[in-house]
């Protein structure tokens, strides 16, 4: 198995800076996602890792090997595309066998590897079907089996689930994670879907405008975002802007003062406090940190999410269970919050 090391990778296309000095290390056997909005450079980075595209500066190593120096046919890479890219005129088995046949492996070995691959992705018995006779999820399973058949050093996936419906996407991302863990392959996965990234990754690299804003475990980027961009791109959040007044108090831009009850940082600093809706609770008896009027509510199945307007005009989103009519005055307290000094623009 192989770790992937990306150092100082930059890339421009004409006037567009697609990547700016990107560093990322994916330890052997781990799955890293490149998470970001359309145009942030994640596909370009994946294509550079694959060697389909060359970097203007910096480079990519698999273990000790600089991939730019390895001829394309010698690179041990499995690639899964959004569009599956299966051969429509070949059967499922022939698709999976394609690369193995090119390697001139004995017929029996090819048959064994194809059977093992189809079993791994749960498609035993479908070997004679053609891709057109399979569902989107099944086609992506074939593509995955084909990518893994050659036992590559790394598995690269570019939004592999985008063409599937919501329920199947959830099922397939769990399958991909299971297979990645069973094979122990080092993987890089591109997505713009934060839930997908949080569920399947060992590491999430949140990208914005050609740069990685934060690299960390799913818990790191969700619970300890370092920038306002990461806080708002990964999950739902309220960002309250203010100046640290003293001890644990924040003077909000709208004029209110909120006591957070623990040190926020150096007095006088301008910061954001990031509050997740699920980290706020309604205070019935006791001291509330915020008092506001409910301006809207939405029912989301397991919870309701409402927005309270604070006296200074800030809007604060919070979760609760029982219905709350618009106009109700609520007291709220934050069980958890993050102080962010780094304003890189809100997603």
Ligand X SMILES: Nc1ncnc2c1ncn2[C@@H]1O[C@H](COP(=O)(O)OP(=O)(O)OP(=O)(O)O)[C@@H](O)[C@H]1O
Chain residues binding ligand X by CB under 6 A are 13, 16, 18, 36, 38-44, 192
Contacts for 204 with CB less than 8 Å, ≥ 6 apart: 32, 33, 35, 197, 198, 215, 216, 217, 218, 220, 221, 234
> Nearer Cβ to ligand X, position 59 or 209?
209
- Tokens found for residue 259: 């006591």
**Residue at shortest CB range from ligand X:** 43
C-beta separation of 277 from 306 below 8 A: no
CA distance 131 to 187: 25
- Tokens found for residue 171: 């099922």
C-beta separation of 187 from 34 below 8 A: no
> Nearer Cβ to ligand X, position 91 or 344?
344
Shortest distance, CB of residue 292 to ligand X, whole angstroms? 37
CA distance 248 to 296: 29
Shortest distance, CB of residue 288 to ligand X, whole angstroms? 42
For 292, how many CA atoms within 13 A lie in the half-sphere containing its CB? 25
Shortest distance, CB of residue 165 to ligand X, whole angstroms? 19
Check the CA dihedral 114-120-124-126 and report its sign: negative
CA distance 169 to 235: 18
Alpha helices in 162-253 (DSSP H): 166-183, 194-200, 218-223, 228-233
- Tokens found for residue 238: 């309220």
Name the residue with tokens 């799913």.
218
Shortest distance, CB of residue 65 to ligand X, whole angstroms? 24
Shortest distance, CB of residue 18 to ligand X, whole angstroms? 3
Is residue 336 exposed (0-12), middle (13-18) or buried (19+ Cβ within 10 Å)?
Answer: exposed
Shortest distance, CB of residue 23 to ligand X, whole angstroms? 17
- Tokens found for residue 230: 């990461």
Shortest distance, CB of residue 8 to ligand X, whole angstroms? 17
């Amino acid at each position: 198995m192989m770790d992937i090391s990306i150092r100082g990778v930059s890339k421009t296309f004409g006037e567009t800076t697609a990547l700016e000095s990107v560093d990322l290390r994916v330890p052997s056997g781990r799955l890293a996602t490149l998470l970001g909005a359309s145009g942030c450079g994640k596909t370009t980075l994946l294509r550079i890792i694959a060697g389909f595209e060359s970097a203007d500066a910096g480079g990519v190593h698999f273990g000790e090997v600089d991939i730019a120096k390895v001829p394309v046919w010698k690179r041990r890479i499995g690639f899964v595309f959004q569009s599956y890219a299966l051969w429509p005129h070949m059967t499922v088995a022939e698709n999976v066998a394609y690369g193995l046949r090119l390697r001139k492996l004995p017929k029996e070995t090819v048959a064994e590897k194809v059977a093992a691959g189809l079993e791994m992705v749960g498609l035993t018995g479908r070997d004679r079907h053609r891709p057109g006779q399979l569902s989107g999820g099944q086609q992506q399973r074939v593509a995955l089996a084909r990518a893994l058949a050659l036992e590559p050093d790394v598995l690269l996936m570019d939004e592999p689930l985008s063409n599937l419906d919501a329920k199947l996407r959830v099922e397939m991302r769990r399958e991909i994670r299971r297979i990645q863990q069973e094979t122990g392959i080092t993987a890089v996965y591109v997505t713009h879907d934060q839930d997908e990234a949080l569920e399947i990754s060992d590491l999430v690299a949140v990208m914005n405008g050609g740069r990685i804003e934060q690299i960390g475990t799913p818990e790191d980027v969700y619970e300890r975002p370092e920038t306002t961009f990461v806080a708002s791109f990964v999950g739902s959040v309220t960002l309250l802007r203010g100046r640290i007044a003293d001890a644990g108090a924040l003077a909000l831009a709208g004029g209110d003062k909120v006591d957070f009850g623990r040190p926020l940082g150096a007095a006088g600093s301008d910061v954001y406090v990031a509050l997740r809706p699920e980290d706020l609770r309604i205070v019935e008896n006791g001291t509330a940190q915020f008092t506001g009027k409910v301006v809207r509510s939405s029912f989301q199945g397991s919870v309701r999410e409402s927005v309270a307007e604070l006296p200074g005009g800030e809007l604060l989103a919070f979760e609760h269970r029982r219905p709350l009519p618009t106009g109700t005055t609520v007291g709220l307290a934050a069980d958890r919050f993050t102080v962010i000094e780094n304003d890189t623009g809100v997603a």
